[in-house]
A and B are shown apart, each in its own frame.
Chain A
Amino acid sequence: MNFEAVADVMLKPGIADPQGQTIERALVALGYSGVGEVRVGKHIELSVDAPSRADAHATVTRMCEQLLANTVIESYEVGVLEPSGDGDHGHDSPRRERVLEA
């Protein structure tokens, strides 16, 4: 089966995010008051062939450990959608509507 998956890669809490800080300052300068905690990460979408959703999840997790994230400074979260046409999520479940594997 072919699964749509996402990996969200973020700098770990406590690791300074100068990009996020700069964006935060820009938002404040634009007049958005009360803005804080801006963090910038990577959102990676991919499709993967796997016998089950759990296998797809395990595969993308391995990808994160090996390549997609640098676990010295980054954490990641993997999400896998049910295969399209499977019925559970309808025919047009939006890719960005993440279904997190339990």
Chain B
Amino acid sequence: MTARAAIVVFPGSNCEGDCARALGALGVATELVWHTDEGLPDCDLVVVPGGFAHGDYLRTGAIARFSPVMGAVRAHAAAGKLVIGICNGWQILCEAGLLPGALRRNSGLKFVCKWTDIRVANAATPFSTRAEEGQVLRVPVNHFEGNWYCDRDVLSRVHANRQIVFRYADNPNGALDDVAGLTNEAGNVLGMMPHPERASEALLGSEDGRLILGSMLDHVSALAPA
């Protein structure tokens, strides 16, 4: 069975090609979906890639969450299927209410563009089974608003549900609890600031991103009828 991924593209997205290439290298069939489409093609997973959707006007992700395609993304998530939002994609999923909390301006007021080490906090999610708990992955970040925040009640629920999947070894943006990536309560929607697709070939400096994308592929394959 070939896994199928829909990659949602907004005006201002700029990582859809990298995501398609990285997933394609793992044998996933990818299709780009323009944000005005009301539906998604038949697919196993949805990628909301990085970039600057709608110019990041008002707030990152604030306008994108109302794009017509987001209804279908919401339905896909509600059906328990996988959704991954990377960087701006995470910001969009936060604004859409599919992931808890919000992403604020980096605490250092600097756009950060560098390699980060992220530690796997939970290896039992559809996004991390190919990694070991505590394993450090080398994945680059590239953002201005990656400073994740939520209130105390939400954070205690996030902890209780083990929703934090990745933590920065050296926090580059001030994110609460060093969160680099976390899931929704159901565990099928992930948002992360680091770009796994940019760490998907040795030539790029790291292949660790393949562990994340590959974990999703394993999850999808395990669900498929034999």
Q: List 13 A-B contacts (CB under 8 A).
A: A11-B104, A15-B104, A16-B104, A18-B105, A18-B107, A19-B105, A22-B109, A67-B66, A68-B58, A70-B59, A70-B62, A72-B94, A73-B104
Binding site for A on B (CB under 8 A): 58-59, 62, 66, 94-95, 101-102, 104-109, 149-151, 174
Least CB distance, A3 to chain B, in whole angstroms: 21
User: Known contacts A67-B66, A68-B58; is A73 also within 8 Å of B108 by CB?
Assistant: no
Residues in B with CB closer than 8 Å to A11 are: 104
* Contact (Cβ within 8 A) B101 A72: yes
Known: A67-B66, A68-B58; 15 extra A-B contacts, CB below 8 A, are A15-B149, A16-B104, A16-B107, A18-B105, A18-B106, A18-B107, A18-B108, A19-B105, A42-B58, A67-B58, A70-B62, A70-B102, A72-B149, A73-B102, A73-B149
Considering the chains assembled together, what is the distance between the CA atoms of A18 and B145 in angstroms? 12
Q: How large is the interface on A (under 10, 10 to 19, 20 to 34, 35 or more residues)?
A: 10 to 19
Considering the chains assembled together, what is the distance between the CA atoms of A16 and B108 in angstroms? 11
Considering the chains assembled together, what is the distance between the CA atoms of A18 and B105 in angstroms? 8
Chain B interface, DSSP helix/strand/loop, else mixed: loop
Least CB distance, B29 to chain A, in whole angstroms: 35
Considering the chains assembled together, what is the distance between the CA atoms of A78 and B150 in angstroms? 24
CB-based nearest B residue for A69: B59
CB-based nearest B residue for A18: B109
Residues in A with CB closer than 8 Å to B105 are: 18-19
Least CB distance, A64 to chain B, in whole angstroms: 12
Least CB distance, A21 to chain B, in whole angstroms: 8
Interface string of A7-26 (1 = CB under 8 A from B): 00001000110110010000
Considering the chains assembled together, what is the distance between the CA atoms of A68 and B149 in angstroms? 19
CB-based nearest B residue for A14: B151
Considering the chains assembled together, what is the distance between the CA atoms of A42 and B58 in angstroms? 9
Least CB distance, B98 to chain A, in whole angstroms: 13
Considering the chains assembled together, what is the distance between the CA atoms of A15 and B102 in angstroms? 11
Considering the chains assembled together, what is the distance between the CA atoms of A11 and B58 in angstroms? 13
